[in-house]
Amino acid sequence: MLYYTKTAPMGWNSWDCWGAAVNEDTVRKNAEFIAQNLKQYGYEYVVVDIQWSAPGAKNHEYEPYCELAMDEYSRLIPAENRFPSSAGGKGFEPLAEYIHSLGLKFGIHIMRGIPRQAVQRNTPIYGSDRTARDIVKTDSICAWNTDMYGIDPTKDGAKAYYDSIIRLYAKWGVDFIKCDDIAREFPQCEDELKLISRAVDNCPIEMVLSLSPGPAPLEKAELFKQTANMWRITDDFWDKWELLYAMFERAEKWSIHTGAGRWPDADMLPVGAIRQDYDPNGFTNFTQDEQITMMTLWSIFRSPLFIGGDLTKCDEFTKKLLTNTEILKMHSNARNAHQVWRRNIDGNEFILWKAGCSEGGEYAAIFNCGGTESKIGIELRDLELPEGSICCELWSGLKAPIKDKINVRVAPHGAKAFRLS
């Protein structure tokens, strides 16, 4: 069943730090860190990203046309050399069990479709007398990964196939599915998405369904709201200012579709120790101010919050960034957020967002997209608030009554967040 999440899901995902090469040991250590340090702040999902069935995966590059671990029913299973607890056909069940024992939830990545090697060998489909070649859509492949062929939803056996993989994941104890090669593949994958969503919804276990990669088409917003919990609004997001800057426009467009268990997703947070598969000293290129900007935007917009860095190397700044309780309260309580304006002030572009607060009052956030520190006076009337409103800046905790303008200095690529009452 599609799980209703009152707030946007939070957790950790292996992609930014380990690419296709994540292994069981890393997952366990990150889960342990979360249980000890982040669980109380709301982080709960631990997600194993792409190609966990490829024995030879080494880094972020997908190995093309490689032999994948697969069961007799055309279903991919974990590569035992990378996930030892899966040996003997146990799949992800032992790992999920361990993560559940930490009070956390377990997620996996999947690709839309059926393994090409299953089609080559024409292997059976569980719960059907059809075989792999019967359900394949011959002209449907992923543009950037060679593992799968797409499924033809009109074919007998197609539904059985998707039901069979979701059933397997439910048996393993999977709480979260990140389904890839689907969120921007429209209109050609609309019916395939519906089939996957229905398979999840008909499964007795509650699961979050997350769609990748973006940008998901805005005009399909209602479809995403009906078929998934979260969907990517961008292509892969990385630690570059240009990508962060571009997110403001994406978030603006999607803002009216956020909330009530349905979450447009600005992608993982590339913070801390990322790209570990290439460099053990790999670290985010974002400045601290940029990270504050990112965390502020993701929170007022209520994007899902998935940490991308390897937490076993988590430094103090990153931990503080991720655990500011006022910011995380905004992530829970903001309502009807949207951009108020974009303006050039003294040569820097500023962006103002506001939102209601479910506990009364309003939130606001100001972003300085320019390259120099700059002063700005935010007029209360642009927030439709009366004179004398009390304003608390969430990153510093400073609080004061305001006459007509909130006067602040904002660092280059930095942000301030406010609670107003």
Q: Is residue 389 within 8 Å of residue 420, measured between CB atoms?
A: yes
Is 219 a binder of its own copies (CB under 8 A)?
A: no
Closest separation in Å from C-beta 144 to its own copies? 7
Is 331 a binder of its own copies (CB under 8 A)?
A: no
Q: For 104, how many CA atoms within 13 A lie in the half-sphere containing its CB?
A: 31
Is 403 a binder of its own copies (CB under 8 A)?
A: no
Size of the residue set binding its own copies (CB under 8 A): 45
Closest separation in Å from C-beta 186 to its own copies? 17
Which DSSP helix (H) or strand (E) runs through 305?
strand 305-307
Enter the tokens of residue 283. Answer: 């670290």
Q: Which of 71, 100, 141, 404 binds its own copies (CB under 8 A)?
A: 141
Name the residue nearer to its own copies (CB basis): 360 or 401. Answer: 360
Closest separation in Å from C-beta 279 to its own copies? 26
Is 335 a binder of its own copies (CB under 8 A)?
A: yes
| Greatest Cα-to-Cα distance within the chain, rounded to the nearest angstrom | 73
Closest separation in Å from C-beta 339 to its own copies? 7
b/e 216-246 (16+ beta carbons within 10 angstroms → b): bbeebbebbbebbbbbbbbeebbbebebbbe
Q: How many whole angstroms separate alpha carbon 48 and alpha carbon 306?
A: 12
Name the residue nearer to its own copies (CB basis): 80 or 252. Answer: 252
Closest separation in Å from C-beta 139 to its own copies? 4
Is 201 a binder of its own copies (CB under 8 A)?
A: no
Q: Which of 112, 167, 178, 354 binds its own copies (CB under 8 A)?
A: 354
Closest separation in Å from C-beta 171 to its own copies? 29
Closest separation in Å from C-beta 121 to its own copies? 10
Enter the tokens of residue 60. Answer: 């972020």
Quick one: which segment of 21-29, 134-142, 391-399, 406-414 binds its own copies (CB under 8 A)?
134-142
C-alpha gyration radius of the chain: 22
Identify whether 386 is preceded by a cis peptide bond (ω within 30 of 0).
Answer: no
Is 138 a binder of its own copies (CB under 8 A)?
A: yes
Strands 334-345 vs 374-379: parallel, antiparallel or unpaired: unpaired
Which DSSP helix (H) or strand (E) runs through 249?
helix 241-254
Strands 348-357 vs 334-345: parallel, antiparallel or unpaired: antiparallel
- Residues in region 282-321 near its own copies by CB under 8 A: none
- Residues in region 367-396 near its own copies by CB under 8 A: 381-384
Site string for its own copies, 57-96 (x = CB under 8 A): -------xx-------------------------------
Quick one: which segment of 13-21, 164-172, 182-190, 249-257 binds its own copies (CB under 8 A)?
249-257
Q: Is residue 106 within 8 Å of residue 99, measured between CB atoms?
A: yes
Q: How many whole angstroms separate alpha carbon 295 and alpha carbon 299?
A: 6
Is 336 a binder of its own copies (CB under 8 A)?
A: yes
Query: In whole angstroms, how far apart are CA 234 and each of 118, 122, 181, 249, 313?
Result: 31, 35, 13, 11, 27
Q: Which residues bind its own copies (CB under 8 A)?
A: 4, 6, 64-65, 116-117, 119-120, 122, 133, 136, 138-139, 141-146, 222, 225, 252, 255-256, 259-261, 335-342, 354-356, 358, 360, 362, 381-384
